[in-house]
Structure 1
Amino acid sequence: MPLSAAASAREILTSLHDVMASRTSAQAKLNAVVGIIATAIDSEVCSIYLLREGVLELFATRGLDQAAVHVTKLALGEGLVGTIAEDVEVLNLDEAASHPDFAYKPETGEDRFHSFAGVPIIRRERSVGVLAVQHTDRRKYADVEIEALQTVAMVLSELIANAGLIDTTGGGADRPQSTAAMRIPGQKLVDGMGAGYAVYHQPRITIEHTVAEDTDAERHRVYAAFDKMREGIDRMTREAEFGVGGEHVEVLQTYKMFAYDEGWARRINEAIDSGLTAEAAIERVQQRTRQRMRQIDDPLLADRMHDLEDLSNRLLRIVSGQMGTAAQLGLRQDTILIARNLGPAELLEYDKRRLKGVILEEGSLTAHVTIVARAMGVPVLGRVRDIRRLVAEGDMLLLDSAESNVFARPSAAMEEAFDARLAMRQKRKAAFAALRDVPPITKDGHRLTLMVNAGLRDDVAALDVTGADGIGLFRTEFQFLVSATLPQRERQQRLYKEVLDAAGERPVIFRTVDIGGDKALPYLNKEDSDEENPAMGWRALRLGLERDGLMKVQARALLEAAAGRTLNVMFPMVSEPWEFDEARALFEAQRTWLEGRGRKMPLAIRYGAMLEVPALAEMLDVLLPRIEFLSIGTNDLTQFLFAADRANPKLAERYDWLSPSILRFIARLVSPTRDAKVDLAVCGEMGGRPLEAMALIGLGIERLSITPAAVGPIKAMTRSLDRAALTKYMAGLLADPPRDMRGALTAWATENGVEIV
């Protein structure tokens, strides 16, 4: 046996190169391959099993009964071979029959063999077969032999894929394990429907050649790719710095450590020494990393392995020349985008005319990309497990996030049902659009104020489209989230002025930047980098007051942008009145500073606060005399009241906005604010749902700030509503709450002809 894994693999690959280049049939090549491997590692048996139509079929063997070829078949998870394929793991046993998953197949004649070793044949992160060796002696195979088998398995994946041996439908490993029409469930993140062809955000890299012609040339290609990758990491480190120390520095330093890790580079060079091309060598080392990741329970170590995985992908893209995301390559047709996760900046790179929907393996309701997608009007389905295994690029997809489903390769019946739902949805949308110039007045003559939430310059167009009364929440953090570096004062000022110009006479309420916690910025130094509960941590106003340099820059930008107009400023996550006082004093100090330099200032400044922290409700008597308006942020308020993180999918559906506890809490705020002549609004998803909005109106809420898409449905509901009757009914419900508050309100709406869509 050769002394090293590289030498062992090289000996086998040298022989395999001639076999792969021959003009014989695929079956003949596999028959030759098992003989070469068995001889090279002095094994009495070598067998190749391939996955075809979901079943592992014995395709070639040396040492087992030839009559078993194409006869012996194992399901995924069945026997030792099935276990290897299902778990994508190696087995190395000195006594095969002692393993709990052992399954005896008498037609193979394997009963006289004791030792067994098998490695998965992997293509595009999934098993497409198994390479196994057996021996009569009771012994485990040496590590160098296992390493050699894994390297050979890489080459086999190329051979069998090129020969189309994996799937009788011809799709091979590039296709999902099923090509039938199927419904795939997920979690609705952004409501909507869309049809298009599947496109991966990170296009898969196809390794065309695995066996090297010139080892020195392959090594030179890897060295050049390492240099280019390291230059990029160094540049990112320089450009991303903000402040001194902090989490982002630690993350980038870890990245840099891996990028310059000689051990990683050495392992790739060893794989090249074994006879692999540069691309195959990187992928071979990456396969080992993935196997280690599956065995790691420590989340910190797992994160570090994910860093190495990301760098491996970066290096592979450089060496293969296949750079860029799908956005940078350009969308050619109506597209449903598929990704493990996305950042807001990455989503904004896509052509909105062709992007019809997004499917995420991960994702959450409060993720940055979800907020941006909602603003863009792009439906998003998240938490879709195994989507990349179930769907291939180019598959037709029908995304219906309203029903929390995506239909892959739809049947005619699926398409017909989807089209019917889409037509009904578009009809409703047209009816809502017709209400653009109709005011939201209840049947008994009460005028409500409907405003929209925004965060991007283009969002302001929703004012004219929906006929909304203004922007009740402009999320200034969007500019920070989609930027690679801290936005300078001039950039911030330009954005705020453009928004005010586009809004005209309609009011715009700017919320100061709400970052930190789960909205971490890579260029922002955050001392408390390991928060267990980021939603309740160092974020929003807490961060702004501590990092007053950031807030001072934003204050100056807002003050100068609003010159000659009224400026509405709202501070997020106020916990106690003194925090509001400190934030207001900071703005006033900046106004004084600018006035002293002759800058033109706003005609008036209206200050407000967001009530998201329940503690603030106990201090309203102190706070109300100091503010002009108060906005209830139902998203955060609800999770704090229930101690339920809405970003956690296990808890996302555990509470209801129509719970008596939430409604009673909000009801307590109405009278004090009204008596103090302070405008009270609800600003969050709760106000954008017709039934929930109806309940809020019944509590006395007269101002809602909601997503643009919700304005039409809320207008329609409002105009069909008798507010006085509802107010009386709500008072009775809160005094003696029913067990099913949602059911009671739905029944009342139906009985009284309220339009709830």
Structure 2
Amino acid sequence: MSATVAARSILTQLHELMASRMHAQGKLNQVVDIIGEALHSEVCSIYLLREGMLELYATRGLNQSAVHVTRMGVGEGLTGTIARNVETLNLAHAAAHPEFQYREETGEEKFHSFAGVPIVRRERAIGVVTVQHLDPRRYDDVEIEALQTVAMVLAEMIQNAGLVDEEGMDGLSLNHSGQEILTGLALVKGLARGHAVFHQPRITIEQTVAEDIEAERQRVYLAFDKMREQIELMSGQAEFGVEGEHEQVIETYKMFAYDEGWSRRINEAIDSGLTAEAAIERVQQRTRMRMREIDDPLLADRMHDLEDLANRLLRIVSGQLGTAASGALREDAILIAKNLGPAELLEYDRRRLKGVILEEGSLTAHVVIVARAMGIPVLGRVRNVRALVREGDELLLDVTVSSMVIRPSADALESFSMRLARSQERQAEYAKLRDVKPVTLDGERIQVMMNAGLRDDIPMLGLIGADGVGLFRTEFQFLVSAALPARERQARLYRDVLDGADGKPIIFRTLDIGGDKSLPYLRNETSREDENPAMGWRALRLALEREALLKVQARALIEAAAGRTLNVMFPMVSEPWEFEAARTIFEKQVAFLKGQKRILPEAIRYGVMLEVPSLAEMLDQLLPKLSFMSIGTNDLTQFLLAADRSNPKLAERYDWLSPAILRFLQRVVNIAKDYPVDLGVCGEMGGRRLEALALIGLGIRRLSITPAAVGQIKELVCKIDTREIGEAMKGWLANPPADMRQTLQQWATERNIEVD
């Protein structure tokens, strides 16, 4: 007997039974007989989750007196284990299993073989259906598959009959109940407390038994066609453009999408009498069973890809193609996703979105760049998070220690709440400094500016009291666009930014794309096979090669700044001639617009980012031509130390307070003193209190940092005497201590300057 024939035989009888007017208990009593006879099994029992306990609700073969009497907790005995883990058990010798518990009132001591499958509703077990046999044998695959098919129909019947308490359903997660801690990779640090929201919501199957098998088959055929069409276009979608791995992902997806075995199994499930949705879910359950048995990590990853593709097919066939951003987002949402594109993240209400957790993700992914700008904490590479978390679970996200807590205990919640409250109190104190000018104890005015990249960032200028935008990343508009943004669209963004700044200076950095920030619509130019993307064909190097790209941006910036001062900064300059070439492109656009009688900017101030160490050797040639210069400490540090900042093994080597880094910065400051150039620092270094203290001691008087750090750096500035810290830094750099970080920390502590 094939699985299809067995399942169809059972479903035909169940369909008639479900249509009858018999009460629920009577239906379940008949169900166990139908299953037992079809599988030639002496015992068939149904357990339902009631008030948090699994209760024997109907049986064929066990003592009838045990019905509604035998109860067990989730995780207790074989049946409880099935419910807890939401997995199938198939045992030739039940008593040999470590979780076996004998219940005297059932009279089951004479039965040796045992098989059970969970009855699943909305990703959680609401019951278990079991079969037992006198002889010690494992049930055949066709019998288990038939049993799983029945369980799907039972889930619908049980829910419609109201036999399972909603409280019972909510009390059991997909795999576990109670607190669980997961770890991952810190992508954007921060704290968040909220409830789980799936980026691509789970599909709830409302109807399992098909009315018209051919109609269901046609629905699946059309869904497969649409899915395959999506995959052919997938290489251009942001959500798959991660670290060059997208090609491998797409090839794996194609392999599964065109796999005849997968589509055949879905068709067989439809033949047995299931709807299209139920058939896909039925095959997915089989996949999940096999995934649990796979030890090979590579093969397990491929099975995860199949799971992801099955979810995509399920959404297509059910017509539910939207994401959680399409509907009303809850007030304290923590988004769960396999991966996420930057444009997808921007669709969410940033006031309600508290954090993001990804199964994949990397430090250089586009979505991480945007999330950091939005101030949203992100934890990545959390394995199986979508399987271990259910929609609505309470979550505690602490990316400072690279961990998350699912369904926290009272103690964990109290501890986290205290930390979160302290953090919020500090932020409230910093907010009070909005209108306070950052002036040191000895009267030095330090410019504290913020980094930005989105139109929506600009209102933060007034809210936090920043002196301006020291780095506006113009590439964000390109990263979140499906096609190259037209000049008019670019100009509109730049004009809106300048208008919103209300006279405060904005420094626009020209495009920094390429390397690890590839654009699908410029694939040949931004996706070169660089072994080290950070030092590859990117930023100004790429822009000078693609001169038209820089010309369009130059004209957009000049038009947007009509009648105002335009501050333009070129990234990744390694030699003076690159700056000259870029400035020439801008000046030619100025001349063109002047000939067109267009209103020009009142002034154009040109600057560069010092990120490439070689530029420091040519400052005497370059500084006379500049209005300002910003030191990009993120890239500069990794270049100087030969330490990739995205490599966890080099985390301790990537140290901004290394004497070598500080001496380099001191040399740049000393050279710049001889020229009328505004010198500052852009990057995370300036947003950390201890590092900011060191920078001010070196003579840096302009910092451009993340908006979240502006308040705390302003507070720090007001406690510093620049002469005192300046003298201390000179001494330490002349004769470096064994631990510069600890030495600086001790110096600050002795003066009651908080630098943690």
What interval of TM-score do these two structures reach, taking the shorter chain for normalisation?
0.7 to 0.9
> 1:272–1:281: 8 Å Cα contact kept in structure 2?
yes
Opposite residue 723 of structure 2, the aligned amino acid is A
Aligned to 2:457: 459
Aligned equivalents of 1:82, 1:411: Cα separation in 2: 22
Task: Please give the secondary structure, in 2, of the residue aligned with 1:608.
Answer: strand
Alignment partner, residue 272 of structure 1 = 270
Confirm or deny: 8 A CA contact 1:52 1:168 kept in the other structure. Answer: no
Q: What amino acid sits opposite 1:683 in the alignment?
A: C
- 1:388-537 matches, cutoff 5 A: 392-394=390-392, 425-526=423-524, 528=527, 534-537=533-536
Distance in 2 of aligned mates of 1:296 and 1:176: 19
Q: Counterpart of 1:439 in 2: which secondary structure?
A: coil
Q: Call closer, same or farther: CA 1:148–1:523 in 2, change over 3 Å.
A: farther
2:543 aligned partner: 544
After superposition, give the CA deviation of every residue in 1:332-360 in whole Å (9 maximum; x if it has no partner).
Answer: 64544444443322232223444444454
Q: Which residue of 2 aligns with 1:742?
A: 741
1:395-433, Cα deviation, whole Å (9 max, x unpaired): 566666668776766788777776766665555444433
CA distance in 1, matches of 2:547, 2:65: 79
How far apart in 2 are the matches of 1:531 and 1:26?
65
Question: 1:355-400: per-residue Cα shift (whole Å, max 9, x none)?
Answer: 4444545555554334434433445555666655665444566666
Distance 1:630 1:357, change over 3 A: same
Q: What is the deviation of 1:511?
A: 1.6
Cα distance change of structure 1 residues 182 and 105 upon mapping to structure 2, 3 Å threshold: closer
Instruction: Report the AA paired with residue 631 of structure 2.
Output: I
Q: 1:344 aligns with which of 342, 345, 359?
A: 342
Letter in 2 for 1:212: A
| Mapped partners of 2:93, 2:314: distance in 1 | 37
**Distance apart, 1:218 and its partner CA:** 2.6
One-letter amino acid matched to 1:510: F
How do 1:11-26 and structure 2 match up within 5 A? 11-20=9-18
User: Which position in structure 2 is the counterpart of 1:314?
Assistant: 312
Structure 1 CA distance for aligned equivalents of residues 571 and 588 of structure 2? 19
Amino acid in structure 2 at the alignment position of 1:555: A
Query: Which residue number corresponds to residue 214 of structure 2?
Result: 216
Distance 1:603 1:342 in 2: 41
| 8 Å contact from structure 1 (residues 205, 317) kept in 2 | yes
Deviations 1:524-563 (A, max 9, x none): 3147577665445454344434444433332332233334
| Residue pair 1:164, 1:171 contacting (<8 A) in 2 also | no
- 288-297 or 569-578, larger mean C-alpha shift: 288-297
Task: Give the aligned CA root-mean-square deviation in angstroms.
Answer: 4.8
Whichever residue aligns with residue 330 of structure 1, its letter is A
Alpha-carbon shift at residue 706 of structure 1 (Å):
0.7
Cα 1:504–1:305, aligned 2, differ >3 Å: closer, same or farther? Answer: same
Aligned partners of 1:715, 1:65: CA distance in 2, in Å? 76
Task: Sort the Cα spacing of 1:622 and 1:487 in 2 relative to 1 into closer, same or farther, 3 A.
Answer: same
CA pair 227-341 structure 1, distance change in 2 beyond 3 A: closer
**Paired letter, 1:693:** A
Percent of paired sites with the same residue: 68
Matching residue of 1:9: 7
| More displaced 10-residue stretch of structure 1: 430-439 or 747-756 | 430-439
Which range moves more in the overlay, 386-395 or 729-738?
Answer: 386-395
* 1:88–1:658 distance in 2 versus 1, CA, 3 Å: farther
CA contact (8 A) 1:247 1:525 kept: no
Q: Distance in 1 between matches of 2:168 and 2:86?
A: 23
Note the C-alpha offset of 1:150: 3.8
Q: Which moved more, 1:68-77 or 1:325-334?
A: 68-77
1:723 matched to 2:707? The reply is no
TM-aligned CA distance change 1:90 to 1:667, over 3 Å: farther
Q: Gapped runs of 5+ residues in structure 1?
A: 241-245
Q: What is the distance in 1 between the residues matched to 2:403 and 2:684?
A: 21
Matched, 1:698 2:697: yes
Q: 1:657 corresponds to which residue?
A: 656
Tell me, in whole angstroms, the C-alpha distance in 1 between the residues paired with 2:551 and 2:290: 47
**TM-score normalised over the length of structure 1:** 0.81
Match of 1:568 in 2: 567
Q: CA deviation at 1:666?
A: 3.0
1:248 and 1:525 in contact (8 A); partners too = no
Do the aligned partners of 1:164 and 1:170 also contact (CA within 8 Å) in 2?
no
Q: Structure 1's 541 and 76: CA in aligned 2 closer, same or farther, altered over 3 A?
A: farther
Q: Is the 8 A contact 2:24 2:161 kept in 1?
A: yes
Distance change >3 Å, CA 65–CA 513, structure 1 → 2:
farther
* Cα separation, partners in 2 of 1:533 and 1:267, compared to 1, 3 Å: farther
Q: Cα 1:116–1:436, aligned 2, differ >3 Å: closer, same or farther?
A: closer
State how many pairs are aligned.
Answer: 748
Q: Answer with 316-325 or 487-496: which moved more.
A: 316-325
Q: Secondary structure of 1:525's partner?
A: helix
Check 1:302–1:681 CA distance in 2 against 1; reply closer, same or farther (3 A cut): farther
- Kept in 1, the 8 Å contact 2:52–2:73? The answer is no
**Per the alignment, do residues 170 and 688 of structure 1 end up closer, same or farther by CA in structure 2, a change over 3 Å counting?**
same
Equivalent runs, 1:117-196 vs 2, <5 Å:
142-159=140-157, 169-171=167-169, 175=173, 190=188
Name the aligned partner's letter for residue 609 of structure 1. Answer: V
Distance 1:655 1:66 in 2: 69
State the AA in 1 paired with 2:557. Answer: L
| C-alpha separation in 2, matches of 1:739 and 1:51 | 62
Larger CA deviation: 643-652 vs 626-635: 643-652
Contact 1:53 1:177 in 2 (8 A): no
Distance 1:119 1:594 in 2: 73
Shift in Å, 1:313: 2.8
Distance in 2 of aligned mates of 1:529 and 1:105: 64
**What secondary structure, in the 3-state scheme, does the structure 1 residue paired with 2:450 have?**
strand
Matches of 2:751 and 2:463, distance apart in 1: 30
Partner of 2:241: none
Query: 2:97 & 2:552 partners in 1: Cα distance?
Result: 66
Distance 1:726 1:296 in 2: 59
8 Å CA contact retained: 1:225, 1:319: yes
Sort the Cα spacing of 1:82 and 1:530 in 2 relative to 1 into closer, same or farther, 3 A. Answer: farther
Higher mean alpha-carbon deviation, 601-610 vs 496-505, is at 601-610
Distance in 1 between residues matched to 2:352 and 2:394, nearest whole Å: 14
8 Å CA contact 1:544, 1:551 repeated in 2: yes
Indicate how the Cα distance of structure 1 residues 252 and 408 shifts in structure 2: closer, same or farther if over 3 A, else same: closer
Tell whether the 8 Å contact from 1:166 to 1:173 is kept in structure 2 after alignment.
no
In 1: Cα distance, 2:413 partner to 2:245 partner: 48
What is the CA–CA distance in structure 1 between the aligned matches of 2:579 and 2:322, rounded to whole Å?
45
